[in-house]
């Protein structure tokens, strides 16, 4: 029987935005993220000679060819490495809203990399799993690890992978404000590509990243929540500014995103260590002290419903589980 493998989402504090190589998914810059416990994907892969084509079931529903595309990339790499030709049945349960800027592809493709390599009898190192997951989704390279991880851009398939930075076993947490769980109009892939090709602001973003990354690693080392938050918030705002310069311009922000940002600023004025970050979607993630999570959540209930506010703590690395949590 094949193993179920669980991978958790990660949220980038230093953003990945833009690819140097579209096919190999080699990024333009290093990025750094925190893996979280609240959202995850459970996946099982079964290689079966009786199958005539790969099949993907997401939450018990058979997916079409478009959804299978990234999955097939990872499966083909595993088959090549293991020397097998069998088609695969992939079963996946996603505890993350898909395509809403909540990093569902990160946990999904990381879980797939782990489950497919196990099913094929491969014993891959964390670095090899990170490289494999990257070929499905760039951010998935970081979900192999728990706590903080840095995706080192590298310059080739062999040198582009994530490494662990810190186990995050200190007073840091995140609060998600889910303003929309609808599929976004501009996918991350299209948004990145358009920005890199056409935004005059993009080079400025790239030029500032090394400074952000080095400052972030120092702040994590010192367990300085305010420094971590300030750097992450500025980095996110710079990333989103690049999309407004693209041709045609676009934004992932919604009116509720702006409302959430204003709520965070108001909480800071009240003395809370709380900062926001956003990815390619309208939902807002708050970086704060774990010890203040519930207080902050209670304050936000005046502007958002309880179901919109999801608390998260640092999450674990990729691991085998007994079965999916349905």
Residue 234 pLDDT grade (very low, low, confident, very high; cuts 50, 70, 90): very high
Identify whether residues 178 and 258 lie together within a single domain. yes
Pick the residue with more confidence: 256 or 65?
256
Last residue of a domain, one of 167, 199, 221: 167
Identify whether residues 10 and 140 lie together within a single domain. yes
Q: How many domains does the chain have?
A: 2
| pLDDT reading at 21 higher than 80 | yes
d(CA 215, CA 21): 27
| pLDDT reading at 293 higher than 90 | yes
Identify whether residues 161 and 180 lie together within a single domain. no
What pLDDT score was predicted for residue 183?
Answer: 76
Residue 326 pLDDT grade (very low, low, confident, very high; cuts 50, 70, 90): low
| 45-94 residue pLDDT tens | 999 999 999 999 999 999 998 889 999 999 999 999 999 999 999 999 99
Identify whether residues 163 and 18 lie together within a single domain. yes
Q: From start to end of the chain, where are the E strands? A: 4-14, 19-21, 26-27, 31-48, 55-58, 61-62, 87-94, 148-152, 161-166, 173-177, 274-278, 284-288, 309-312, 319-321
Range scoring the smallest mean pLDDT among 67-71, 192-196, 255-259: 67-71
Identify whether residues 10 and 50 lie together within a single domain. yes
Average pLDDT of span 94-121: 83
Domain assignment present for residue 146? The answer is: yes
Identify whether residues 84 and 199 lie together within a single domain. no
Last residue of a domain, one of 122, 147, 167: 167
What pLDDT score was predicted for residue 99?
Answer: 42
Domain assignment present for residue 115? The answer is: yes
Domain assignment present for residue 325? The answer is: no
Identify whether residues 152 and 262 lie together within a single domain. no
CATH of the domain at 150: 3.30.230.10
Residue 100 pLDDT grade (very low, low, confident, very high; cuts 50, 70, 90): very low
CATH of the domain at 259: 3.30.70.890
| pLDDT reading at 114 higher than 80 | yes
- In this structure, how many other beta carbons lie within 10 angstroms of the beta carbon of residue 278? 23
Identify whether residues 135 and 270 lie together within a single domain. no
Q: What is the CA radius of gyration of the chain?
A: 19
Last residue of a domain, one of 110, 136, 167: 167
Identify whether residues 145 and 8 lie together within a single domain. yes
Identify whether residues 124 and 197 lie together within a single domain. no
Domain assignment present for residue 326? The answer is: no
Can you give the residue range of the structural domain that contains 254?
173-312
| pLDDT reading at 103 higher than 60 | no
Identify whether residues 20 and 127 lie together within a single domain. yes
Residues 6 or more apart whose CB falls under 8 angstroms from that of 320 comprise: 3, 4, 5, 6, 114, 118
Identify whether residues 159 and 288 lie together within a single domain. no
What pLDDT score was predicted for residue 155?
Answer: 96
d(CA 192, CA 187): 8
- Name the residue among 119, 117, 110, 115 with its Cα closest to residue 47: 119
Domain assignment present for residue 323? The answer is: no
Domain assignment present for residue 57? The answer is: yes
């Amino acid at each position: 029987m094949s193993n179920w493998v669980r991978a958790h989402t990660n949220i980038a504090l230093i953003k990945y935005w833009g690819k140097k190589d579209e096919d190999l998914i080699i990024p333009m810059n290093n990025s750094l993220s925190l893996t979280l416990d609240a959202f995850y994907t459970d996946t099982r892969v079964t290689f079966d000679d009786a199958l005539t084509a790969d099949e993907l079931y997401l939450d018990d529903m058979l997916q079409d060819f478009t959804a299978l595309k990234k999955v097939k990339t990872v499966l083909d790499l595993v088959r090549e490495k293991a020397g097998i030709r069998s088609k695969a049945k992939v079963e996946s349960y996603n505890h993350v809203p898909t395509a809403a800027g909540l990093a569902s592809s990160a946990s999904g493709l990381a879980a797939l990399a782990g489950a497919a390599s196990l099913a094929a009898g491969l014993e891959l190192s964390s670095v090899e799993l990170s490289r494999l997951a990257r070929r499905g989704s760039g951010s998935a390279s970081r979900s192999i690890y728990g706590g903080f991880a840095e995706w080192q851009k590298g310059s080739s398939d062999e040198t582009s992978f994530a490494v662990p930075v810190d186990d995050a076993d200190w007073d840091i947490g995140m609060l998600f404000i889910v303003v929309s769980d609808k599929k976004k109009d501009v996918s991350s892939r299209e948004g990145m590509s358009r920005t890199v090709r056409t935004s005059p602001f993009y080079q400025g973003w790239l030029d500032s990243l090394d400074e952000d990354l080095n400052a972030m690693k120092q702040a994590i080392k010192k367990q300085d929540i305010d420094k971590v938050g300030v750097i992450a918030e500025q980095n996110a705002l710079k990333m989103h500014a690049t999309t407004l310069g693209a041709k045609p311009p676009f934004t992932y922000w919604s009116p509720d995103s702006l409302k959430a940002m204003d709520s965070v600023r108001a909480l800071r004025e009240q003395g809370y260590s709380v900062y926001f970050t956003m990815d390619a979607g309208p939902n807002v993630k708050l970086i704060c002290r774990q010890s203040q999570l519930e207080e902050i959540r209670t304050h936000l209930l005046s502007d958002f419903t309880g179901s919109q506010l999801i608390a998260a703590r640092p999450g674990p690395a990729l691991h085998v589980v007994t079965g999916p949590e349905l």
